Amino acid sequence: MAYGTVNADVIGTSVAGSNLGAGDASLMKNRIINGAMQISQRNGTSTVTPALYDYTIDRWQTQVTQSGKYTLAQSTSAPAGFPNSMLITSTSAYSITTTDCFDEKQYIEGFNCYDLAWGTANAKTVTLSFWVQSSLTGTFGGAIQNASGNRSYPFSYTISSANTWTQASVTISGDTTGTWMSSNNSVGMAVLFGLGVGSTLSNTAGAWAAGDYRSSTGATSVVGTNGATFYITGVQLEVGSSATGFEYRQYGQELALCQRYFQQFGGTATYEYIGDCICASSTSAYAGISLVTTMRAAPSFSYTGVASDFTTDAGNTNTQCTALALNEAAVNKVRLTLTTSGLTTSSYRTFLTYSGQTSKVQFSAEL
């Protein structure tokens, strides 16, 4: 019986006409996480106006030099076979300056791309593919960059028909120079999609350049047209010289991949259990929280709403918090300091959301 054979881009099997790479089996070939825009822990389907460095749909970060020029939402408009897309809607007709930059990008962790061997003579060729739709037509742009932003590969793609899903694909010969990824938990590379990038930050498409270039010269500015829409989904970055079928991962698998960088508790019910706490004084308690998956690094802590949206509960009595803070963080667990009142030192309580509140505690270890 013949077993699988490895070709350049696909894995052939003994079953006639069956190729794992050309099919949609999960081989972890896609270096992009949440390329199908399915996971949106922070905002769900709500429309937001992202500020500089905000994370919106999981793993996707906003880079804007001017705030309030577009809104962003997880959309259910998507090409066949995809559940969601990222929807950008321009909120004005903004004329970008030479140094302006509006883009959505994803940092890829070094652990997840070091095998590309970029920055060496053995640099591998990759293909970036994605589905896009826009109310605008023309040439659009984006870029791949190293962590320092001093090696850039601007790319371009064309949307010929307005409001029609189009698949684009860009094949990129790996960079043999520059400083690139290491096998660690730092930034390995970045993939950017331009929504309006000034000439200073743009360069010729299809070639590596030393410098910070985030899109291709002359690319369409989405933020330049009031009400313009831009959808993107099915983003895949894979080794090889041609695009293969989008890698479908199970939902729980994709969510866990996202939770390495961001996870949250609460938000779905009142008096929702978050963790246990030990009272250290009459006004302070330490709450321990086990993270649902090991995070990339010890996470930062934040919470939605206000401190009084959370409470410590002793079974038949609870006292709302007046302050929350991070006390200690590791990659798989955290301890918070809860400030409240009426506690009995050395007694145990539970840490809950308060009555009528659906606020969340959030942990971020984004790149």
Count CB atoms within 10 A of the CB of residue 6. 9
- Asked if 293 touches another protein (CB under 8 A), the answer is no
- Close Cβ partners of 15 (under 8 Å, ≥ 6 residues apart): none
Contact status, residue 63 vs residue 102, Cβ threshold 8 Å: yes
Candidate ranges 32-40, 76-84, 206-214, 324-332; the one touching another protein (CB under 8 A): 324-332
Our finding on whether 301 is near another protein (CB under 8 A) is yes
Question: Pick from 209, 293, 296, 322: which binds another protein (CB under 8 A)?
Answer: 296
Measured between alpha carbons, how far is 68 from 52 in angstroms, rounded to an integer? 10
**Do residues 45 and 264 touch, judged by C-beta distance below 8 A?**
no
Binding string to another protein for residues 42 to 71, with x set by CB under 8 A, is what?
------------------------------
Please name the amino acid found at residue 2.
A
Using CB under 8 A, pick the residue from 123, 147, 329, 343 that binds another protein: 329
Nearer to another protein, 156 or 284 (CB): 284
Tell me whether residue 20 or residue 334 sits nearer to another protein (CB atom).
334
Does residue 365 bind another protein (CB under 8 A)?
yes
CB of 268 to another protein, least distance (A): 22
Q: Enumerate residues 6+ apart whose C-beta is below 8 A from 296.
A: 109, 185, 260, 261, 331, 365, 366, 367
Q: Which amino acid is at 334?
A: V
String marking each residue 142-181 x if it binds another protein according to CB under 8 A: ----------------------------------------
Q: Verify binding: residue 281, another protein, rule CB under 8 A.
A: yes
Query: Measured from the CB atom, is 65 or 283 closer to another protein?
Result: 283
Q: Is 135 a binder of another protein (CB under 8 A)?
A: no
Residue 185 makes contact with another protein by CB under 8 A: yes
Q: How close are the terminal C-alpha atoms of the chain, in Å?
A: 46
Nearer to another protein, 115 or 328 (CB): 328
CA dist 98 to 25, 90, 101, 152, 227, Å? 43, 19, 9, 18, 22
Residue of 89, 44, 85 whose CA lies nearest to 232: 85
At 191, which amino acid appears?
Answer: V
Task: Report angle CA 84, 90, 93 to the nearest 5 degrees.
Answer: 165
Cβ closest to another protein, residue 13 vs residue 182: 182
Q: Give the binding range for another protein (CB under 8 A) out of 149-157, 225-233, 275-283, 351-359.
A: 275-283
For residue 158, what are its two tokens?
Answer: 């064309």
Binding of another protein by 302 (CB under 8 A): yes
Q: Which residues sit at the interface with another protein, rule CB under 8 A? A: 185-186, 280-281, 283-284, 296-303, 325-329, 337, 339, 364-367
